[in-house]
């Protein structure tokens, strides 16, 4: 459920942040990239970071699906005796090959975004938090658990900070905190 707040005498439901909204933000990249100005540069950074997170989540899901298919295929009698062509003729083999093709493209997209992000300046706390969230996703907890936890903790801390004077959130994108926890199960 979304929260409610009074606006002009009416209750207004604020939208929930969902995976779909993060992916939608990622698809807005071409539009925002052509907007121009400093605000557009900040939006472009957020869109690039959101795109990286969305791609990373999709990669994780596809990798897990591929692993499930591989386990199911290995359990089939005679799977290892089949030729490569025979394995590809099987529905599990075809789906695994399709996932391999999708992953290749997604890995390229993710690598390009990650390579470009260090040179894009963050102009506000939201941009900094978005870049830190990307770093947290880029550092695999299985390879570098301490570094991942440190970076993810910094992104969470920054995403939850409030202005000492007005107590408004410093980070205006709710997906940043959410993205650190999503897709790592």
CB 74 within 8 A of CB 9: no
Q: Supply the mean pLDDT for the chain.
A: 80
Rounded distance, CA 168 to CA 162, Å?
Answer: 5
Q: Between 125-138 and 91-116, two packed helices, what is the crossing angle to 10 degrees?
A: 140
pLDDT at residue 141, rounded to an integer: 86
pLDDT in tens, 95-143: 999 999 999 999 999 999 999 999 999 998 889 989 999 999 999 888 9
In which domain, by residue range, is 140 found?
124-185
Residue 110 and residue 55 in contact, taking contact as beta carbons nearer than 8 Å: yes
- Domain contains 179: yes
Q: Is residue 103 part of a domain?
A: no
Domain count within the chain: 1
**110 lies in some domain:** no
CB neighbour class for 36 (10 Å; exposed up to 12, middle 13-18, buried from 19): exposed
Whether 176 is in a domain gets the answer yes
Cβ neighbors of 111 (< 8 A, separation 6 or more) are: none
**Residue 50 belongs to some domain of the structure:** no
Cβ count within 10 A of residue 9: 5
- Is there a domain that residue 155 lies in? yes
Identify whether the C-beta of residue 133 lies closer than 8 Å to the C-beta of residue 179.
yes
Tell me, yes or no, whether 151 lies in a domain: yes
pTM: 0.70
């Amino acid at each position: 459920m979304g929260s409610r707040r009074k606006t002009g005498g009416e209750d207004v439901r604020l939208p929930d942040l969902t995976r779909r909204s993060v992916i939608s933000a990622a698809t807005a990249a071409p539009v925002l990239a052509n907007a121009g100005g400093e605000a557009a540069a900040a939006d472009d950074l957020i869109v690039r970071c959101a795109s990286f997170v969305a791609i990373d989540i999709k990669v994780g899901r596809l990798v897990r699906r591929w692993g499930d298919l591989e386990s199911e295929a290995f359990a089939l009698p005679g799977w290892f005796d089949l030729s490569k062509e025979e394995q590809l003729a099987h529905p599990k083999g075809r789906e695994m090959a399709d996932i391999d093709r999708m992953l290749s493209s997604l890995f390229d997209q993710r690598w390009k975004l990650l390579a470009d992000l260090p040179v894009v300046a963050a102009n506000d706390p939201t941009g900094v938090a978005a870049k830190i969230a990307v770093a947290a996703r880029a550092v695999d907890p299985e390879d570098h658990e301490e570094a991942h936890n440190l970076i993810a903790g910094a992104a969470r801390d920054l995403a939850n900070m409030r202005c000492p004077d007005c107590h408004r959130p410093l980070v205006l994108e709710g997906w940043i905190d959410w993205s650190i926890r999503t897709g790592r199960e």
